[in-house]
């Protein structure tokens, strides 16, 4: 059973100073300038990308092509690390399993009525269970945002628990859809609810709603992860997603994680960026840093 949410709030009181948050974020965005030409850091961020294809027009053939591009990547870009994961709709989980050649790349899917989460709990559980059976290593699900905003916290928590219970060894990323939440306290509450319910990662956004990822949401979520880890000795990962398409944008989130959670979170075990356009931007900037040649890379 999911713990009474009032107990969770007592356990993790919201004490963030919002003026301090603004000051900290200003300092972080200034400090990341030193990384913009650091090839090692840019490659590390590339290695933290969940490369996504979540389009209405996706098909078995288009996903096979998507996978094959990733398979060819190491030959075309020698010396570059691979992305952390490919993320697709659950119906394509088997295509990832059949096609991906690099075992280090995780097979990720969205599930549980993504992106709105407006379906029956048993459907969410069934869809997730089937995706894992078809080979998904990781599953990204959205909280029932409307129920959360109405204060039905136990319902939201029990849904996450139910989904997690059918996942076996697969990892659960819980999307808060922070752009729909009204203030930092709600983001804090949703973060702690998700982690208490079993999330392995907490994620900002689906990318299907605006605003998507923001540095303010990232700051609150990382602070929540830090407090949760201190109280429970359980690390939870962080994934910003939605609208992160430039190197400097990605570096800003890298800076938030570095500042709050520290170096040990800065690998793809604990830090991911959900993106479809960021990979090309990073490849372009890495190529320029290494060769001095300005040439836009359009591989993905």
- From the candidates 106, 164, 173, 203, which is the catalytic residue? 203
129, 164, 239, 285: which is the annotated catalytic residue?
239
Angle between helices 247-260 and 278-291 (to 10 degrees): 90
Residue 44 falls in the annotated catalytic set: no
The strand pairing partners of 109, in sequence order, are 88, 139
Residues 237/166, Cβ–Cβ less than 8 Å: no
Cα 139 to chain centroid distance, Å, stands at 10
* Burial readout 156-168 (b: 16 or more C-beta within 10 A, e: otherwise): bbebbebbbebbe
Residue 72 structure tokens: 């060819």
Catalytic member of 140, 164, 173, 200: 140
Alpha carbon distance 251, 119 (integer Å): 36
Nearest one of 158, 211, 221, 164 to 189, comparing CA atoms: 221
Q: Is 50 a catalytic residue?
A: no
Catalytic site includes residue 239: yes
Q: For strand 201-203 and strand 237-239, is the pairing parallel, antiparallel, or unpaired?
A: parallel
Q: Active-site residue numbers?
A: 140, 203, 239
């Amino acid at each position: 059973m999911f713990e009474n949410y009032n107990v969770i709030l007592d356990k993790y009181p919201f004490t963030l100073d919002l003026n301090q948050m603004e000051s900290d974020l200003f300092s972080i965005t200034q400090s990341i300038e030193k990384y913009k030409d650091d090839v090692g850091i840019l490659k590390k961020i590339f290695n933290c990308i969940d490369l996504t294809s979540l389009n209405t027009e996706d098909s078995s053939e288009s996903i096979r092509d998507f996978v094959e591009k990733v398979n060819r990547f190491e030959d075309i870009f020698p010396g570059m690390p691979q992305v952390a994961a490919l993320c697709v709709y659950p119906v394509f989980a088997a295509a990832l399993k059949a096609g991906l050649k690099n075992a280090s790349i995780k097979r990720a899917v969205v599930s549980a009525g993504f992106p709105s989460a407006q379906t029956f709990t048993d459907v969410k559980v069934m869809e997730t269970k089937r995706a894992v059976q078809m080979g998904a290593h990781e599953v990204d699900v959205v909280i029932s945002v409307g129920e959360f905003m109405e204060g039905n916290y136990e319902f939201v928590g029990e849904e996450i628990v139910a989904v997690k219970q059918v996942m076996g060894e697969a990892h659960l990323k819980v999307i808060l859809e922070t752009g729909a939440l009204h203030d930092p306290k709600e983001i804090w509450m949703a973060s702690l609810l998700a982690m208490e319910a079993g999330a392995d990662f907490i994620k900002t956004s689906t990318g299907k709603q605006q605003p998507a990822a923001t540095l303010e949401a990232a700051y609150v979520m990382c602070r929540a992860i830090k407090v949760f880890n201190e109280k429970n000795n359980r690390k939870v990962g962080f994934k910003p997603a939605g609208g992160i398409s430039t190197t400097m944008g990605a570096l800003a989130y890298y800076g938030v994680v570095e500042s709050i959670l520290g170096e040990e979170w800065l690998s793809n075990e604990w830090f991911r960026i959900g993106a479809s356009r960021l990979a090309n931007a990073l490849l372009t900037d890495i190529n320029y840093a290494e060769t001095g040649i300005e040439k836009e890379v359009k591989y993905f």
